[in-house]
Amino acid sequence: MFNSLIITLMSFGDNLKKIRADKDISQGELAKMIDVHATHISRYERNLTSPTIDVAKKVADALEVSTDALIYGSNEQIVSNKLNDAELLQLFNKVQQLSDEDISSVKAMLKAFVFQKDLQKQLA
C-alpha cells in the first residue's frame, strides 16, 4: 500500500500538467482560479511538492475533473498501468465497443474460464 501511495504522489504532477494542458489553461490562469501563486502549480507539476487535500479539490473543481483523475490519472491510464499485456488491453478496448449483450457474453466466458482455472488449482 505504501508503494502505491508513493506512485500516486509522484504522478499527481504529471496528471495535473496533462489535464491543464488539455484544457489549454496556463499555470498562471490555474493559479488565479484557485487563489495560489503560479510557482505552486509549477512545483506540483514538477512533483517537487504535493498539494493539501483542500488544494487538490480546488484544482479538480477548477479543471472540472475528479480528484481521482488528478491523483490516479484517467481510467485509461489506470488500466494500462495495471494491465501489462498490450494485446489483452487492445482486446478489452475492442470489447467495450460491442453491444451490451455481447459484453455480457464476453464476461460470462471470462468468468467461466477463470472459475475453471481456480477449480483446477484447488484440485491439484
Contact yes or no for 11/73 (Cβ under 8 A): yes
pTM above 0.75, yes or no: no
pLDDT confidence of residue 78: 59
Q: How many CB atoms lie within 10 A of CB 91?
A: 12
Residue 5: the pLDDT is 36
Check whether 2 has a pLDDT greater than 70: no
User: 98: which 3 cell numbers?
Assistant: 460491442
Q: At what angle do helices 38-45 and 2-22 cross, to 10 degrees?
A: 120
Distance CA 33, CA 123 (A): 60
Name the residue type at position 31.
A
pLDDT given for residue 6 in this prediction: 37
pLDDT tens for 25-76 read 999 999 999 999 999 999 999 989 989 999 999 999 999 998 988 887 766 6
